[in-house]
A and B are shown apart, each in its own frame.
Chain A
Amino acid sequence: MARRISLVPPRKRPLVGPNGPRRGSLCGVLRGGVHFAVLLVLLGAVGCGSGGQPDKDGAENNATTPADGDGATDKPAEKLTVDGGTGATSPAPEKPVEPKTSGPFKLGNLVPPFEAPPLAEIDAKAEWVDMPVVDATVRLKEEYWKARPEPKPVAEALSARNVSPETNAMILDTLGRLPASEAAANWNASINRHTAADVKSTNPLLASSTIEFDVGGLIGFGLFSFDWLMRPFASSDAVVSWQTSKDRMYDKIVLRDDLTWSDGTPITAHDIEFSFLTIMSKEVPASAQRSGTDKLKYVKAYDDRTLVYFHQEALATNIWNVNFSVVPKHIYEKTIAADPTLQDSDEHVALERNPVTGGAYTITSRTRDQEIVLERRESYYMHNGKQVRDKPYFKQIRFKVMADSSVALLGVKTGDIDELQLTPDLWKTQTNGDDFYERNTKVYAVEWVEFHFLWNCSEPFFRDKRVRQALALAFDHEELIQSLRLGIDQPSSGMFNAASPWSPPNFNARFQKRDLEKAEELLEAADWVDHDGDGIRDRMVDGKSVKFEFSLQTSNRPDRIAICNLLKENLGQIGIEVNVRPLEFTVLSENMRTHAFQAAFGGWGTGTDPDTTENIFGTGKDRNYGNYSSPEVDRLYGLGRREFDFDKRLEIYRQIHRELYEDQAYMWLYYQNAYYAFNKDLRGYVFSPRGPFNYSPGFSGIWKASAQ
C-alpha cells in the first residue's frame, strides 16, 4: 500500500534560475541592484543603517547576487507558539481587512453557472474507461527496483566516498531501497529536514512556495499523484476507483470509506466539491491552486464517496487539472463567508496554528522562522482499530529553517540536519572530508531543470534561425560542462531530457559540437559580415548598418556570469560582441516577462506533462519571453493536446523537440544535477526528474534504519 506524499504537483522551480543556492543563502542575500542601492542610500540618509555595524552590512548589501526560483520567498510567517522569554511576541490581533468585493461573499463566484446532470444520466452516456489507481510504493518495488542491479552490502555503501558516477550509482542502488523487513526500519525515528524559508501558511489552499508544498504534501489530503516517471495516477490510499469518460469530458472518482480528518470527521466527496468552490472564489487568495482548477467546468459530489469532475474541453491534459488541494468543509463552511482571506479572523488564525489535516502527519508546533514540527497521525493509517494504510516511517518530522546553506551544512556535519540539498559549490568543496563523511553520505542525480541562453527573436540579430544555429556552433559546450559544471552535469540537447519518453530516441544534438568554420558560414549566409573591417560583424537592417553587438542579461551569480563570459569569449572569436549584464533576480524576471532584453541566461524546471512547454514556445504565450514563433510548432502543440493515444502523442512531442532544436529557439546548455547530503541512518531515497521528494512515494519512501 502506498502513501501519498505529494498529491498536488509540487511547485517547483523556476523560471530564471532554478536550483542554485536557495533563496536566503548567504549568496542569495548578497544581491540587490541599483534600485536597492538607491534605497539604501536613502535609508542611510535617514539613519536606518544596521544598528550593530553601521557600515559593513550596508556595503555587503550593495553587492549583487541573484536569488533564484528555489526556496521561493524567504519571508516570515506568523509565529504560532508564544515564546515567553524569547523576546518573540505573539501576533497582535488585527482588525480583519475588508475583502475587496461588493456584496456578500458568494462561494465559487468564479465558476460560471452550471447545473450538474444526475449521475445516472452521466453513467448512461459516459462509456467509462478505467484509469490507474496505484499504490505508489508497490509500483516502485515492482517496476523500479526490479530493473536495478543487485545492491552491494550496506556497509560498503556507507563507507564509500562519492567520487565517481559509479560510486554514486552504487550508493543510490544500495541505500535507496525500501526496508527488507518491518524490523529493518526504526519506526520511532525522527527526521530533521532543512528548509531555507519558513512556511507562510499551513492552509494548503494558500500554498505557493516550495516549503509550503513540502509540508502540504505531508499534512494535506489529495486524490492524485504521479510517479518517478511522472505518470499520473489516483492514489489507492484515498481512491477505490477512477474512471474517465470515453469522450474525456468527465472523470468519476469513488473514494474510500475509511478516510478521516485529524479531528475524526470523515473525509467525503463534499469536501472536494467545497474545496473546488473555495479555490474558485475571487476573494480567496488561492492563485496557485486556481491554475488548472479554473479549466474545470465543475466538480460535483453525488454522495459522500462519488465525485464527478466536469471538463470544459476534451483534452489529454485534463488529467492534471483534477489535482488540487482539499480542505475540510465542516470547518471552513462556517468561517469562510466572514473572512474569505482565510487568514484574518480569529477562527482562521486558530486554524493556522492548529489545522485540521487529512494527510499522514499533523502539525504539533511551529516557531516562526525557526522550525515546524509534524507528528505521525495514527488516525491516518488506523481505522476502527485496524491498519488500513501503510504506517508512515517517521514518528516526527522537523523542518528546521536555516537560510544560509553553508550554516545548514554545518548542521548536517553535526547531525542536527538529516538531509540537505547542496549547491554545486558545497558538493565540490565542503563535503569531501572526514567531518562530512563521519555522519553523512552524498548522492546526486539528474534533475530535469535545464539552463539555456534565450534569444529575443524580435531583435534583428536573432530573427534568422541560421544566426541562432551559428551561435550554438560557436559556443564551447565541452568547456562549459567540464570547467564550469564540475564535469558531471548533463548537457541539455533540447526541450525534453534525453531520458524522457518525449525526447526523440538517439537524438542527434548536432549543434553541441563546436564548429567555428560552420558558424561563420552560417553568419555570412545570413549577411552578418564585417563590412567595415572593425572586427565586428554588421549588416544592414531597415536601411541602417547594425553591428552584431548585444547585451546578455543574467542573474547576478558568479557561476552564471562565468557561463555568460564564456559565450562572450567564444562569440568574440567570430566577430560578435556580447555585453554581459548581471541583474537582480526580480529585475531580470520582469525584463523577461516584458521582453525587455536582447538575450538572457535562464532556466526552466520540468512540468509533469509535455504540454506545459506550450506556454514557453507557443506563439504569443505567457512564458514565451523570446517571442519565438513557429506555425508548425503551434500546430503540433494543438494536436498533442487533443491526442489521447499515448504513442501518437509521444511522436507529436518528439517532433516538436526536433523542430525547436533545429530552430535553436534556445541555445540549450545543461541540466543541473540535484545534489543531496543524507545522514547515514537514512535509506530509501530514489530520485525522480524533480528530485528525491516531490513525487509518489518520494519522501514517504524514505526511512531510518533501526539500530540492528
Chain B
Amino acid sequence: MLNYIIRRLAIGSVTLLMITFVVYGLIRNMPGTPLTVDLAESSPDKQISAEELKRRAEIYGLDKPWYVAYWKWAGNVLQGNLGRSIQEKQPVMRVIMPRIGPTLLLSVTSLALSYLLAVPLGLYGSARSGRLDERTTSVFMFMLYSFPSFVAALLLLNLFYVKLDGTLFHLKPGMVSDNYPQLTMGGKVLDVFKHSILPVFCYTYGSLAYYSRFVKANMEEVIRQDYMRTARAKGLSPLTVLVKHGFRNTMIPFVTMLGLTLPGLLSGSVILEEIFSWPGMGRLFFSAITTRDYEVIMTEILIYTLMTLAGQLVADILYAFVDPRVTYS
C-alpha cells in the first residue's frame, strides 16, 4: 500500500507540474494583461503613461516570456511564496484565505445535505421502482435537476427578501446582517445560518437530484444480482437486503464520485455567489480571470489541482476498504 501511495504521489507531482505549466501558458497567452484592465478603467484625467506601464510590467514580470515566468513562479511556489495579486496589490494568500471559510460553509453543508438525503432517496427509489410514488418523485427530481439555480435564486430572493419582508420568514442576501458586530456569539451563528439557508438550498437541490438518481441507477443494477435474491431467500428483512447487501455493493462508484467532488468544495459557484453577495472563491476566480490576475488564477488552479489529485488518491485508497477484492499490496 505504501509503495502504491508513493508511486501515486510521484505521478501526481508530474501531473501537477504539467497542468500548471499548461494553464500558465494558456492564461499568459490570453489577449490582455492585468495592465490592460487598469488602462481600460483609468480615469480620463489620470491616464497611466507608457513609461509607467513599462515600469509596472517589469515589476510584475510581465516583460518576460511566459515559459520563463512560469519557472520563476514555480520556484517561488516551492519556496512557499505564492506571489502577489496584481489587482489587489497584496500577497495572494491574503486575498484567498478569507474566501475559504465562506466557500466551505456553503459547499460542505451542501455536500453533506446532498449525500444525507440522496442515499435514502435513492434507496427509496429503487425499493419502490416503477410505482406511482417513485415515478412522481423521479419526475420531480428531473425537474429540479433541470431548473437553473440562478433562476431559483432570484425567485427565492424575490419571495423571501421582498415579499416576506416583515415576517418571520424574511431572509436577506449577504453573509451577515448590518448589526452583526453587535450580536452575541449565539446571535452571530444564527445570523449566518439564516443568511446561508437560501444559498445552501440553491447549491444543494440540483446535486441532490443528481446524486439520488445516481444511487438509484446503481442500485437498479445491483438489485438484479443473484446474491440479492439469495439474501431475500434467506429471509432477511427488505431493509437489510437493500442496505447491507445492495447499497454496500454500490459503494465503488459512490466513492469515485466522492473523490471527484473534493475539488468542488473549494471552487465555489460564480453565479450563486454573485446573486447572494457571498464572498466565495467562485467570484474571486472569475474576476481574477477577467482581470488577468495571473498569480491569483494560478494559486486557485494549484489548489484545485492538488485537491483533484488528492481526491482521486483518497478514492483509490478507499476502494480497498469498501471492496475487499481490491488490494494494492
Residues of A within 8 A of B (CB): 9-16, 23-26, 29-32, 35-36, 38-39, 42-43, 46-54, 56-57, 60-61, 67, 69, 72-79, 81, 83-92, 94-95, 97, 100, 192, 200-201, 206, 208-209, 282, 285, 287-292, 294, 320, 341, 343-344, 365, 367-371, 398, 400-404, 406-407, 410-411, 413-414, 416, 435, 584-587, 589-591, 593, 604-609, 612-613, 615, 622-623
Residues of A within 8 A of B301 (CB): 43, 48
Given A50-B264, A73-B37, A287-B52, the answer on whether A97 and B84 have CB atoms closer than 8 Å is yes
Given A39-B289, A294-B52, the answer on whether A78 and B95 have CB atoms closer than 8 Å is yes
- In the complex the two chains form, what is the Cα distance from A607 to B56 in whole Å? 24
Give me 6 other A-B pairs in contact (C-beta within 8 A), A51-B263, A586-B36, A591-B31 excluded. Answer: A36-B290, A46-B308, A47-B262, A76-B283, A206-B89, A291-B47
Q: What is the distance, in angstroms, from B73's C-beta to the closest C-beta of chain A?
A: 13
The listed residue (B22, B46, B270, B296) touching A292 by CB distance below 8 A is B46
Are B180 and A9 interface neighbours, CB within 8 A? no
Are A76 and B31 interface neighbours, CB within 8 A? no
Size bin of chain B's contact surface: 35 or more
Given A344-B90, A586-B291, A622-B50, the answer on whether A12 and B43 have CB atoms closer than 8 Å is yes
Given A51-B111, A67-B290, the answer on whether A288 and B158 have CB atoms closer than 8 Å is no
3 smallest CB-CB distances across A and B, nearest first, come from: A51-B264, A369-B279, A87-B101
Fill in one digit per residue for B5-44: 1 if any A CB lies within 8 Å of its CB, else 0. 0000000000000010011001100111100111111111
Residues of B within 8 A of A81 (CB): 181
Are B149 and A26 interface neighbours, CB within 8 A? no
- In the complex the two chains form, what is the Cα distance from A187 to B162 in whole Å? 29
Fill in one digit per residue for B41-85: 1 if any A CB lies within 8 Å of its CB, else 0. 111111111101001100100000000000000000000110111
- In the complex the two chains form, what is the Cα distance from A24 to B290 in whole Å? 11
Residues of B within 8 A of A401 (CB): 277
Are A52 and B107 interface neighbours, CB within 8 A? yes
The listed residue (A91, A288, A370) touching B277 by CB distance below 8 A is A370
- In the complex the two chains form, what is the Cα distance from A31 to B87 in whole Å? 19
Are B206 and A56 interface neighbours, CB within 8 A? yes
Are B270 and A86 interface neighbours, CB within 8 A? no
Residues of A within 8 A of B154 (CB): 406-407
Are A288 and B93 interface neighbours, CB within 8 A? no
Closest to A29 in B: B274
Are A60 and B97 interface neighbours, CB within 8 A? no
Are B192 and A87 interface neighbours, CB within 8 A? yes
Are B36 and A590 interface neighbours, CB within 8 A? yes
The reply on B269 being an interface residue by CB < 8 A is yes
Stretch at the interface among B124-132, B134-142, B169-177: B169-177
The listed residue (A49, A61, A85, A291) touching B264 by CB distance below 8 A is A49
Residues of A within 8 A of B102 (CB): 86-88
Closest to A409 in B: B162
Closest to A342 in B: B89
Residues of B within 8 A of A75 (CB): 85, 87-88, 95, 284, 287-288, 291, 293, 296
Are B38 and A287 interface neighbours, CB within 8 A? yes
Q: What is the distance, in angstroms, from B274's C-beta to the closest C-beta of chain A?
A: 5
- In the complex the two chains form, what is the Cα distance from A175 to B166 in whole Å? 28
- In the complex the two chains form, what is the Cα distance from A237 to B31 in whole Å? 46
Residues of B within 8 A of A593 (CB): 36, 39
> Can you name 20 A-B pairs with beta carbons within 8 Å?
A9-B45, A14-B41, A15-B41, A16-B40, A23-B287, A39-B26, A46-B304, A50-B269, A52-B106, A52-B149, A52-B206, A74-B287, A75-B87, A83-B176, A208-B38, A288-B46, A367-B180, A414-B161, A589-B40, A590-B32
Residues of A within 8 A of B172 (CB): 416
Closest to B147 in A: A56
Residues of A within 8 A of B148 (CB): 56, 60
Fill in one digit per residue for B238-278: 1 if any A CB lies within 8 Å of its CB, else 0. 00000000000000000000001111111111111111110
Closest to A93 in B: B94
The listed residue (A60, A73, A78, A435) touching B94 by CB distance below 8 A is A78
Are A370 and B279 interface neighbours, CB within 8 A? yes
Given A201-B89, A407-B173, A585-B290, the answer on whether A83 and B188 have CB atoms closer than 8 Å is yes
- In the complex the two chains form, what is the Cα distance from A370 to B174 in whole Å? 7
The listed residue (A287, A288, A589) touching B36 by CB distance below 8 A is A589
Residues of A within 8 A of B37 (CB): 73, 586, 589
Given A75-B288, A404-B277, the answer on whether A26 and B304 have CB atoms closer than 8 Å is no
Looking at B33, B269, B271, B274, which has the most chain A CB atoms within 10 Å of its CB?
A: B274
The listed residue (A32, A76, A77, A292) touching B290 by CB distance below 8 A is A32
Are B32 and A587 interface neighbours, CB within 8 A? yes
Closest to A435 in B: B162
Residues of A within 8 A of B261 (CB): 51
- In the complex the two chains form, what is the Cα distance from A357 to B306 in whole Å? 43
Are B48 and A288 interface neighbours, CB within 8 A? yes
Are B42 and A288 interface neighbours, CB within 8 A? yes
Given A15-B39, A341-B89, A400-B174, the answer on whether A49 and B267 have CB atoms closer than 8 Å is yes
Looking at A42, A50, A92, A398, which has the most chain B CB atoms within 10 Å of its CB?
A: A50
Closest to B104 in A: A87
Are B271 and A26 interface neighbours, CB within 8 A? yes
- In the complex the two chains form, what is the Cα distance from A10 to B95 in whole Å? 25
Q: Which of B204-241 contact A (CB under 8 A)?
A: 204, 206-207, 210
